[in-house]
Amino acid sequence: MRRLAALDAVYADLDGRAVVTIMGAVAAELQSLGHQPNFFYLQHAMGLASSLGLGIALARPDQSVVVFDGDGSLLMNLGGLTTLARYRPRNLVHVVFDNGSLLSVGGFPTATSTGSDLAQIAKAAGVPRTLTVDTVDTFAEAFREACHADELTTLVAKVEPIGPSGYVTDLSLLENRFQFQRWLIGHGAS
Amino acid sequence: MPVSITHSQMIYDALKASDVRLISALPETWLVHLIRMAEDDADMTLVRLAKEEEGVGISMGAHLAGVKSAMLMQNHGFLAAINGIVSGAQLFRIPLLMLISHRGTFGERDPWQTEGGGVTLSTLNALGIPYDTLDAPDQVLSKIQKAQTLANAALRPVALLLGRDLMWEDA
């Protein structure tokens, strides 16, 4: 599965949800499908996208939140999975694009390429719903189920280590940050 | 343990008066009463962390969602959170209110706290983070409110160091 195809398959489902992505390929690919004011790209602060999503989900229990995480990022904050599981916000869907690689910095393999299983780690951390998918159709179906499950889900999507040719876009970090905040504070329950 | 309940309550009340509704924390001795107060307060969301850097992400999310938050941590936790502070809160201009117990200062008996005590102020200076120390009970409310005011005006992290004379009764 190509990550861009997976994002495209669920793009329409992101309407009205607060979407937080990690840096690099995920941010650039989601933007390439069309930036929206409800998308926030956490460029840098690696590992903290899931924590930031948790902060939104706890601050605004009425607001649906989606985090697009990655294997390299999540491996930097595995302890954060236990915090996610501890508070298990029902309004949070935690997607992990797992390409087994630190793609944007040379493609060096991560520990998921040598057997570490992020869905099993999330399950053992206490996340109530966890699953791994490896096709676009099963991803889209699992994502929609997670959005309506009313229970914290960590959905690991196995994707190919292929990304865009560049990562810098014409959307400045701060423009994105203030636009997203304005949308989030102004946006009612969804 | 001689951690001051009275002064912990003052700090907690000042956070409440500053409209803080979410606290992330990782326990350490000087913070036990503060964390219990947050735990017992039905109007406070307490997020217990595995490591302090998570708290930066959580406070970023809370801020973007319009909720005021604070982080409670030891200075060694602050040292552990630095990348999140720099490449998260500073890069994205987040008004992060950090309450940091300043262990390892004059009077410290625990050998393992001493190294961090010696580098905390110089690290805050290096990062350009405005800070002040809470030592006198009658300044707790004023300093916490002023710290939060600056954080919100500057859209930057600020730190209040919890001093031994405030937190420890037989200091």
Residues in A closer than 8 angstroms to B64, CB to CB, are: 40, 52, 55-56, 177, 180-181, 184
What DSSP letter does each residue of B62-120 carry, written as one string? HHHTT--EEEEEEHHHHHHTHHHIIIIIITTT---EEEEE--SSTT---GGGHHHHHHH
What pLDDT score does A188 carry?
64
A and B: number of Cβ contacts within 8 A: 121
- Rounded to two decimals, the ipTM of the complex is 0.96
Task: Give the CATH number for residue B11.
Answer: 3.40.50.970
pLDDT tens by residue, B121-135: 999 999 999 999 999
Determine the pLDDT at residue A2: 97
What pLDDT, on a 0 to 100 scale, did the predictor assign at position B1?
Answer: 64
> Is residue A83's pLDDT more than 70?
yes
| Per-residue model confidence as pLDDT tens digits over A134-165 | 999 999 999 999 999 999 999 999 999 998 98
Read off the pLDDT of residues B60-110 as tens digits, 9 standing for 90 and up: 999 999 999 999 999 999 999 999 999 999 999 999 999 999 999 999 999
**Integer angstrom CA distances of residue A106 from A24, A109, A161, A164, B9:** 12, 9, 11, 13, 51
Q: Return the pLDDT at B58.
A: 98
How large is the average pLDDT for residues A97-111?
91
B95 and chain A: CB distance < 8 Å anywhere? Answer: no
The string of DSSP letters for A123-182 reads: HHHT-SEEEEE-SHHHHHHHHHHHHTSSS-EEEEEE--S---S----SS-HHHHHHHHHH
* Average predicted confidence (pLDDT) for chain A: 96
- Domains of chain A (ranges; CATH) run 3-186 (3.40.50.970)
Q: Which of A19, A52, A66 is the best substitution to test chain B (most B C-beta atoms within 10 A)?
A: A52
Domain around B87 = 5-167
Among A97-111, B5-19, B20-34, the least confident range: A97-111
Average pLDDT over residues A11-38: 97
Q: How confident is the model at residue A187 (pLDDT cuts 50, 70, 90)?
A: confident
Q: Does B60 touch chain A (CB under 8 A)?
A: yes
Above 80 in pLDDT, residue B27? yes
pLDDT at A189 over 60: no
How many structural domains compose chain B?
1
pLDDT band at A190 (very low <50, low <70, confident <90, very high): very low
- CB-based contact (8 Å) between B117 and chain A? no
**pLDDT mean across residues, chain B:** 97
